[in-house]
Amino acid sequence: MPKNALVEPRSIVVIRNVSKSYRRGSQTIPVLENVSFDIAEGKFLALMGPSGSGKSTLLNLLAGIDSVDSGSIAVGGLDITTLSEMDLARWRAVNVGFIFQFYNLIPVLTAFGNVELPLLLTKLSKKQRREHVDLALSMVGLSDRIDHYPNQLSGGQQQRVAIARAVVTDPTILVADEPTGDLDRVSAAEILDLMGRLNKDLGKTIIMVTHDARAAAKAHLIKQLDKGVFIDVHS
Amino acid sequence: MYILKLIFKNAFRHKLRTWLTILGITIAILAFGLLRTVISAWYAGVEASSASRLVTRNSISIIFTLPLSYKERIRQIDGVKIVSWGNWFGGIYIDEKNFFANFAVDPKTYFELYPELIISPDQKAAFIRDRKGFVAGRKLAERFGWKLGDSVTLRGTIFAGQWDFVMRGIYRGRDKTVDETTFFFQWDYLNEKMKKSSPARADQIGFYMIGVTKPEIAADVAVNIDKTFKNSVAETLTETEKAFQLGWIAMSQAIVTAIQLVSFVVIIIIMAVMANTMAMTARERIGEYSIFKTLGFGGRYIAALIFGESLIISMIGCAFGIAFTFPAAKSFGNALSNFFPTFNVATETIYMDIAAALLVGTVAGIFPTLRSIRIRIADGLRRIG
Ligand SMILES: Nc1ncnc2c1ncn2[C@@H]1O[C@H](COP(=O)(O)OP(=O)(O)O)[C@@H](O)[C@H]1O
Ligand SMILES: [Mg+2]
């Protein structure tokens, strides 16, 4: 469902005055300070910045796997900072697809099993699940690797399985933390192409943390984070 | 189904570690089962004893005797049906390590009072006819290969001298709890020899065994017997057979308690080993559990994964342990048949094995589960890579 270019895209993610700090012993380390920004639906956003600048922290917050100290984060109109841990888990299962630097597949499950995992939390029948998994794996070009275990796949292939797992539930947003950080150049390019297609062909909103300029070049817009504050750059 | 498959796969990811843990649990359950069986064997005499039988002994101590003359006076007490009597003989067959219990009893009344000892009427008659006759339990006769008509000599300890006997019968137990390793001979034979060699010890009885008309009055009859002999030369102490047996056990209570303690210590040790294995496993999987949580799986799912794995390992160990307990108890029982006439694995012991394994599996799962559920997802994910 590509977006009609004439319609002004609405903001799918609205971040307002978010602050986050970590405590290390008696010390408090501020990571994000009063961060506010919007992400329009269907955008492919790259979050860049030096190591330790708070990119992963911000991504985790808007994906609902970490909690803010103050401020609000609305995704699809729902303020997720008010949700209980259990509601947040249910919300993630439906709304967020995750792609990590180290793929984070379950080693004892095959490609099929890994992609099927998030569907176990839905009401789909076994047969429906199989159809969804087959479709997702064919989309990432791994139909012939269905019964392979993660350790029987290359890094690039594992990341493609992870992408299939991220999109199989058709989530509202896709978040990716350094998805090419552990890959060689060829595999990295393949992964970025795949993500570009997911964004263009399926209209998926993608928020990707990276410090690879080539990766960022795939995105519609780049946000530079430095010491917890944004420096805007346009691509 | 899906989660069960996952739990199984997880359990056998570190094959060596898992099999070593299973081996540990197998040995622990086996040891636990055998120790519990030793304890029940200890109590087997109590279980087998009848509530309608009393034992009367000298109130000072079991090693003091009672006059034979008490027999008639006991018989006249209300509620008394049968009076039998006997002495612990303590004879040795060839060598001390051949230990078995041997008693001088009154053959006519004894078998009447103990219907659980089954002997054919012919053999019983032959035993009663022969002053030097003896009857042995089936297991005892098998142990030494004694046949009817065989001569057996015991060396007296309490009653000095060589004592010759002729085998006149074999008794067997009515069920598995009945001891089949005892040697009975005629009390009259003992008494006649005593009359000749040391007359002061003649007509002296170790204990009277009394059958009452019905179990409900046993306690009252016991009181009446002791009242009858109050202030006489030898005062009596009368107990139900059960209490009498428990008295024997009380003497060895320290050992029973020690065995009981050891059996629980074994379980506690294996619990620690298992808890360590699960803690190690869960620490390695913290990242994976965080992935499950990231995808929206709740704490209950993580708990099911960890407890499931822990219980699968402990129950496999338990199954092996129980399977080995039966043959082990059998050879154990054969080797120790002198001490434990009956050595059978009780159904309750199996239930206790299962309960212990469930406890071990559950306890081992608690802390890893709490830890895995409590850790923040972002921190858990950081452990990957
Ligand atoms: N759980 C944590 N506890 C303490 N400090 C943390 C934790 N997570 C992140 N930090 C700190 O917060 C800062 C930002 O981390 P992060 O968001 O991972 O940066 P980036 O992804 O941009 O490299 C770093 O200084 C990091 O050490
Ligand atoms: Mg990071």
Distances (CA, A) of A222 to A47, A73, A176, B236: 6, 19, 14, 103
Residues with Cβ < 8 Å from B84, sequence gap 6 or more?
A: B105, B106, B109, B110, B112, B113, B208, B209, B210, B211
Provide the β-strand partners of residue B85. Answer: B208
Chain-chain contact of B296 with A109 (C-beta, under 8 angstroms) = no
Residue with tokens 């409900």: B216
| Minimum distance, in Å, between the CA of residue A110 and any CA atom of chain B | 11
Q: Which two tokens stand for residue B144?
A: 């030494």
Confidence class of residue A216 from pLDDT cuts 50, 70 and 90?
confident
Report the distance separating Cα A211 and Cα B65, nearest Å. 99
| Minimum distance, in Å, between the CA of residue B379 and any CA atom of chain A | 9
pLDDT over 90 (residue A230)? no
Q: Which two tokens stand for residue B369?
A: 């589960």
Domain-located, residue B52: no
Last residue of a domain, one of B189, B205, B234: B234
Last residue of a domain, one of B234, B266, B296: B234
Same domain, B102 and B226: yes
Domain-located, residue B247: no
Report the distance separating Cα B104 and Cα B86, nearest Å. 5
Same domain, B15 and B67: no
Domain-located, residue B349: yes
| Minimum distance, in Å, between the CA of residue B378 and any CA atom of chain A | 6
Q: Chain A contact for B378, CB < 8 A?
A: yes
Q: What residues of chain B lie within 8 A of the CB of A93, using their CB?
A: 295-297
Boundaries of domain holding B87: 60-234
Q: Which two tokens stand for residue A71?
A: 């401020």
How many Cβ pairs within 8 Å bridge chains A and B?
A: 60
Number of domains comprising chain B = 2
Q: Chain A contact for B381, CB < 8 A?
A: yes
Last residue of a domain, one of B234, B262, B283: B234
Residues with Cβ < 8 Å from B365, sequence gap 6 or more?
A: B278, B303, B306, B307, B309, B310, B311
Dihedral, B276, B278, B280, B282 alpha carbons, nearest 10: -150
Domain-located, residue B218: yes
Same domain, B147 and B220: yes
Amino acid identity for residue A63 in this structure? A
Distances (CA, A) of B164 to A7, B101, B108, B161: 118, 16, 21, 10
Q: Chain A contact for B280, CB < 8 A?
A: no
Same domain, B138 and B219: yes
Q: What pLDDT is attached to residue A235?
A: 45
Same domain, B206 and B355: no
Same domain, B25 and B68: no
- Segment B327-347 mean pLDDT: 82
Q: What pLDDT is attached to residue B213?
A: 86
Q: What pLDDT is attached to residue B317?
A: 97
Domain-located, residue B241: no
Q: Which residue from A89, A106, A108 is facing B293, i.e. has the nearest CB?
A: A89
CB burial string A182-214: b at 16+ within 10 A, e below? bbeeebbbbbbebbeebbeeeebbbbbbbbbee
Q: Which of A92, A99, A98 is nearest to A78 (CA)?
A: A92
Q: How many CB atoms lie within 10 A of CB A121?
A: 18
Same domain, B317 and B366: yes
Domain-located, residue B213: yes
Same domain, B289 and B209: no
Same domain, B175 and B269: no
Domain-located, residue B50: no
Same domain, B213 and B96: yes
Give the residue ranges of DSSP H helices in chain B: 2-11, 15-48, 70-75, 107-113, 121-129, 138-144, 187-197, 218-228, 241-251, 253-294, 299-335, 347-374, 377-381
Q: What pLDDT is attached to residue A153?
A: 96
* Percentage above 70 pLDDT, chain A: 94
The one-character DSSP state at B319 is H
Whether the CB-CB separation of B184 and B167 falls below 8 Å is answered with no
Amino acid identity for residue A230 in this structure? F
Same domain, B227 and B78: yes
pLDDT over 80 (residue B300)? yes
Same domain, B153 and B200: yes
At B177-210, the pLDDT tens digits run 788 999 999 999 999 999 999 898 999 999 999 9
Which residue has the CA at smallest separation from atom 10 of ligand 1? A22
Q: Which two tokens stand for residue B188?
A: 């009259």
At A28-84, the pLDDT tens digits run 999 999 999 899 999 999 999 888 899 999 999 999 999 999 999 999 999 999 999
Nearest ligand to the CA atom of B383: 1
Report the distance separating Cα B290 and Cα B294, nearest Å. 6
Domain-located, residue B87: yes
At A115-150, the pLDDT tens digits run 999 999 999 999 999 999 999 999 999 999 999 999
Report the distance separating Cα A112 and Cα B174, nearest Å. 63
Residue B340, classed as helix, strand or coil, is coil
Residues with Cβ < 8 Å from B226, sequence gap 6 or more?
A: B56, B59, B235, B236, B237, B238
- Give the DSSP letter string of B134-146: EEEEHHHHHHHT-
